[in-house]
Structure 1
Amino acid sequence: MRPYKQTIKKNILATSTITTPLGDMLCAATSKGICLLSFFNSKHLEKQIEKIQKFFNTEAIPAHNKYFECLQKELDEYFEGKRKEFTIPMQLVGTPFQQDVWKVLQLIPYGEKISYKDEAQLLKKPNASRAVANANGQNMISILIPCHRIIQKNGTLGGYSSGVDKKEFLLNLEEKNF
């Protein structure tokens, strides 16, 4: 008689659509937290999906996740000007350097803007402005990890993977409710 082999459940990478005033966003989550929140028009969305599927060694599938309702609620409150910090758990998928950059982004207070150079200094890597900018561009959790708060040294908005119009909207929203 052969021993009973227990079937091991694969990691579940659940996806859903989150509605915002700026348009629908794709979100993905594991049992540990949100790992993707991206506008459907993001130029990096396909690569982001591939990256998280590879990282978790599973397919992203439409499914329920305990974090989705909380995420929708917190985003609604944010867009209504009632929430300035997010409490939803996140699971960051990136290199250690990228994760360090994204953690610094989360320290930038609501309503404030800093330059890539300032962000590099907060990271204690003052000569790494370009690397910091590249890491910001790889951020897969829009709004919650506020890369929209980073502007160029000369005060111009710079890039945003879902369009500068969305970045400008988010900055104006925060400035108005600051």
Structure 2
Amino acid sequence: MISEKEQKRYYKALLAKDSTYDGIFFVGIKTTGIFCHATCPARKPKYENCTFYETAEEALLSGFRPCKRCKPLSFPREIPPLVQKMIELVEENPEKRWKDQDFADLGIHSMTARRQFKKVYGMTFVQYARSRRMGIALKSIKEGEKTIDTQLDMGYDSPSGFYDAFSKIMGSNPKKSKEIKSLSADWIDTILGPMMSIADDDYLYLLEFVDRRGLEREIERLRNRMNASIVPGKTRINEQIKEELALYFDKQLDEFKTPYLCIGSDFQKSVWQALTAIERGKTSSYKELANAIGNPNGMRAVGNANGANQLAIIIPCHRVIQTDGSLGGYGGGIERKKWLLKHEKEYSD
């Protein structure tokens, strides 16, 4: 996380157009929706209109698009014409999900696009397109109800037009049926970065950090399994988990009481249930977890179920470590796992 002190230092560098900071931070401009380098020649924004990021992917996931003047994604080299063309194509149709045939239609191989993007940006083209697509959707969630008031400015003629486009970005349309559920997605700012909750009036179905790898697939699985339509909004459940998370991070919450529903196989549910039995401030190994559910040889399967958990923090998969004491993996990032374990240890002492 970028501290307030660092943000102010970055802002001074932005005002001074200090080239030594190019590639060190990216700044999202709330009033224009773009993100820039420190040396961007454009008129400088007010401090309160700036959001600072350490990576371009974070800026993209927050809904900002790259500035056409300073071309922040080109640092430290110029963008090849082919790569620039592909960026323009993403902007023309950000909800598009790219397939091998799309690259073939451009006269290039998908692996060529992957290598060129990786060389210039440190991320593949598919990652870039996904981050841009998810960024637009996540920005809509963050704005919540305000989205409806501003949709005409985005080029949509009606609420249904906006929701159709939002649904395409968030995942494939649910099967046409009278049984379609409506789920509300809300944005939650936390000390560890933004999270997203998806709920209806009865249960919480998903709680994740917005930069979690594979989030888009998680959302799509949820949509398909529940035959649901997901739109920006709030329910009493979204509000309840937001309040409880604030108390959790302030070390003032005894236990989460937000009602939730786990969507998965019986085996996955048994693993998730076992996770909730790990006391706050304690850890368990994959081996111990496998023994706890009566499947001592199922450590790999337990690990996979752990990774498929869609309710971060509430179902504490971050409390599972390797048998040798090393932290192992975590969908929200190893630094967050380390922070959560330290936080909970202090919480319990």
Q: Shorter-chain TM-score: what band?
A: over 0.9
Q: How does 1:11-160 map to 2 (within 5 A)?
A: 11-160=181-330
Size of the alignment, in residue pairs?
172
Q: How far has the Cα of 1:30 moved from its partner?
A: 2.5
Is the 1:52–1:93 Cα contact (8 Å) retained in structure 2? yes
What is the root-mean-square deviation in Å for CA atoms of aligned residues?
1.4
- Structure index of larger Rg: 2
The answer to whether the 8 Å contact 1:115/1:150 transfers is yes
Return structure 1 stretches of 4+ with deviation > 4 angstroms: none
Q: Secondary structure at the match of 1:61?
A: strand
Q: Which has the higher helix share?
A: 2
How many angstroms apart in 1 are the aligned matches of 2:291 and 2:254? Answer: 24
Bigger mean CA deviation after superposition, 68-77 or 9-18? 9-18
Offset, 1:60? 1.2
Q: Which runs of 5+ in 1 are unaligned?
A: 1-6
What SS class does the counterpart of residue 161 from structure 1 fall into?
Answer: coil
Gaps of 5+ in 2: 1-176
Q: TM-score, normalised by structure 1?
A: 0.92
Match of 1:4 in 2: none
Residue 10 of structure 1 corresponds to 180
Mapped to 1, the partners of 2:243 and 2:258 lie a distance apart of 10
Structure of greater relative contact order (alpha carbons < 8 Å, 6+ residues apart): 1
Deviation by residue 1:7-46 (Cα, 9 ceiling, x = unmatched): 9573111110112110111110133311100101101200
How far does the alpha carbon of each residue in 1:82-112 deviate from its partner, in whole angstroms, 9 at most, with x for none? Answer: 1242111111111111111111101111111
